[in-house]
């Protein structure tokens, strides 16, 4: 039995066991909320433009064994299950379009959630990325990602940040309708800091041409995002070498 213990510990990590956050770190939730609204994008989306969510990639329950969910072993979702631009999985000098600088924290990672009987499941359908680089060479960095980018499975899911430093969160139902604090008052997202607390927050509400919920990132922090309850999880979100980037994370709420 003693010989089996190390092997069992290794197996537990491989199956998704996540180290608990370190204690004694100050709470980062007090960041000035005004940063949330800095430079919000305008994609001209209206309520009437809500489309059938069946066009979005759908993670399959038969996609294979769960991926490791440790901060130091970040891996992408199974191919074809999530709209996930290649830049999120880049390493070395190409990490998050890091301008040739590697911050040593690796790529963005995906962690598959486990559905629970009788509860809704929040499935990750897309992650977008905005860089502070001038991608199209037009002299500015304000060509933002459309808020409905996730509706097109062939989209690049890459835009320009315009100096913003937010993590944007969009939650939609199975019909593709975007949810907010009024239409889903009991729905909360979870923000986990690698060296800090795990906290749950209510959704907010914005005009239809903006992502409905967001929080600002701070230099030196690394965050993970999921939904309260049974949910997929995205981690290793941060400002690489303090470059101003954003992430747009989209979850679909699926009925029990």
Count structural domains, the chain. 1
Inside any domain, residue 11: no
Query: pTM for this structure?
Result: 0.75
Inside any domain, residue 5: no
Inside any domain, residue 244: yes
Contact at 8 Å (CB) between 74 and 92? no
What string of pLDDT tens digits covers the 256 residues of the chain? Answer: 433 333 333 334 333 443 333 333 333 333 333 344 433 333 333 333 333 433 434 444 445 566 668 999 999 999 999 999 999 999 988 889 877 778 889 999 999 999 999 999 999 999 999 999 999 899 999 999 999 999 999 999 999 999 999 999 999 999 999 999 999 999 999 999 998 899 999 999 999 999 999 999 999 999 999 999 999 999 999 999 989 999 999 999 999 9
Inside any domain, residue 187: yes
- Which residues constitute the domain of residue 204? 31-254
Contact at 8 Å (CB) between 155 and 149? yes
Inside any domain, residue 182: yes
Q: What is the CATH number of the domain that holds 132?
A: 2.60.40.10
Inside any domain, residue 1: no
Burial of 218-252, coded b for 16+ CB within 10 Å and e otherwise, reads eeebbbbbbbebbbbbbbbbbbbbebbbbbbbbbb
* Residue 66, pLDDT score: 60
Inside any domain, residue 6: no
Inside any domain, residue 13: no
């Amino acid at each position: 039995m003693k010989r089996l213990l190390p092997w069992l510990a290794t197996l537990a990590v491989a199956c998704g066991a996540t180290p608990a956050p370190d204690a004694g770190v100050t709470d980062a939730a007090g960041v000035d909320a005004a940063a949330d609204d800095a430079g919000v994008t305008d994609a001209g989306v209206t309520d009437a433009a809500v489309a059938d969510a069946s066009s979005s990639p759908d993670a399959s329950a038969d996609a294979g064994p769960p991926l490791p969910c440790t901060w130091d072993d970040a891996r992408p979702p199974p191919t074809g299950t999530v709209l996930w631009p290649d830049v999120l999985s880049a390493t070395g000098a190409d990490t998050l379009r890091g301008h040739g600088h590697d911050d040593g924290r690796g790529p963005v990672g995906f962690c598959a959630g486990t559905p629970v009987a009788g509860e809704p499941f929040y499935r990750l359908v897309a992650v977008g990325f905005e860089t502070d680089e001038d991608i199209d060479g037009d002299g500015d960095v304000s060509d933002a990602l459309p808020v409905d980018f996730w509706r097109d499975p062939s989209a690049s899911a890459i835009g320009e940040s315009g100096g913003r430093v937010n993590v944007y969160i969009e939650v939609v139902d199975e019909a593709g309708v975007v949810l907010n604090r009024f239409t889903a008052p009991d729905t909360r997202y979870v923000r986990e800091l690698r060296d800090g607390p795990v906290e749950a927050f209510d959704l907010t509400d914005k005009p239809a041409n903006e992502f409905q919920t967001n929080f600002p990132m701070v230099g030196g922090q690394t965050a993970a995002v999921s939904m309260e309850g049974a949910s997929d999880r995205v981690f290793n979100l941060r400002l690489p070498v303090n470059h101003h980037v954003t992430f747009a994370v989209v979850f679909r709420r699926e009925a029990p």
